[in-house]
Amino acid sequence: MNADFQQLFHWNTKQIYVALTMRYTTDRFNKSEIIVWDEILFSRPESVYEEYEVENKYPITDVEDINGGGVKGREVEFRVKWEVVPFLGWFARFEADPITAKFPNTFSKVK
- What is the number of H-type helices and E-type strands within the chain? 0, 7
What are the structural domain ranges in the chain?
2-102
- What is the torsional sign of CA 68, 73, 79, 80? positive
- What pTM was estimated for this model as a whole? 0.83
Instruction: Report DSSP state, residue 37.
Output: E
Residues 26, 68: Cα–Cα separation, whole Å: 6
Amino acid 19: pLDDT:
94
pLDDT in tens, 45-72: 888 877 666 777 887 776 666 666 678 8
CB atoms within 10 A of CB 21: 18
| Three-state SS at 6 | helix
Residues lower than pLDDT 70 in the chain: 51-53, 62-69, 107-111
pLDDT of residue 104: 84
